[in-house]
Amino acid sequence: MKEGEFIKVIKKEEIEERGGVLIEKDKCTFDFQDRPSVSGDKEKSFYIAMSNADGVVGGITLEELNNKELGKDYIQLRVVHIKEKYRGGNASIILYEKAIEYAESIGKKLLFDSSLNNGAYNSFKKLENYGYDVIENPEAKYDGQYHTAYGSWVLRAERKDKGDEINNKK
């Protein structure tokens, strides 16, 4: 069974209810671009664009951390954009997986931003259904609308087979 088919079978009912278009990962192309950082506390940014036969599906922006408390072992997911027709499908999961693969390829781990709304938080948590551990920062707070850990991270994801511990820093 191909990876894209696994996603279709597991998530078919939910995706049909939400109306998202399913994407076959093996029929997508990914463009990886280095970019200068837009924020002063980051070393550099990366952009991953995902396209299929219909054109651009979405993209994800990552920034390399230069944080005294966390060190330089992490990159942080900053922005995700999915074209409206693909929202509710599996496009975000595929982009998250590419971001994790990219982080691993440069010897880093992926952190999800310091503030997440409920939609983003729930979307990231779905990675648990696809072979990833999603770890929540114990210092993150929830105010009914946002999950926040100022100056830190809210969620972190890694493959279940990688299984090493984060140094319990902010």
CATH number for the domain harbouring residue 83: 3.40.630.30
Q: How far apart are the first and last CA of the chain?
A: 40
pLDDT digits (tens, 9 = 90+) for 57-115: 998 888 887 665 666 788 888 888 888 888 878 888 899 999 999 888 888 888 888 88
Q: Residue 141: pLDDT above 60?
A: yes
pLDDT digits (tens, 9 = 90+) for 155-169: 998 888 754 433 333
Range of 41's domain?
3-159
Is 90 part of any domain? yes
Q: Which helix (H) or strand (E) holds 20?
A: none
Please state the φ and ψ torsions of residue 94, each to the nearest 5 degrees.
-60, -45
Structure tokens, 126: 């779905």
Tell me what pLDDT residue 67 has: 62
**Length of the chain in terms of residues written:** 170
Is 164 part of any domain? no
Is 69 part of any domain? yes
Tell me what pLDDT residue 34 has: 82
pLDDT digits (tens, 9 = 90+) for 14-71: 333 345 678 888 888 888 888 766 555 556 788 888 998 988 899 888 888 766 566 6
Is 150 part of any domain? yes
Round to whole Å and give the CA distance between 164 and 148.
24
Is 105 part of any domain? yes
Q: How many domains does the chain have?
A: 1
pLDDT band (50, 70, 90) for residue 133 = very high
Tell me what pLDDT residue 140 has: 92
Is 165 part of any domain? no
Q: Under a CB-based contact definition with an 8 Å cutoff, are residues 88 and 18 in contact? A: yes
Is 170 part of any domain? no
Q: Residue 7: pLDDT above 80?
A: no
Is 167 part of any domain? no
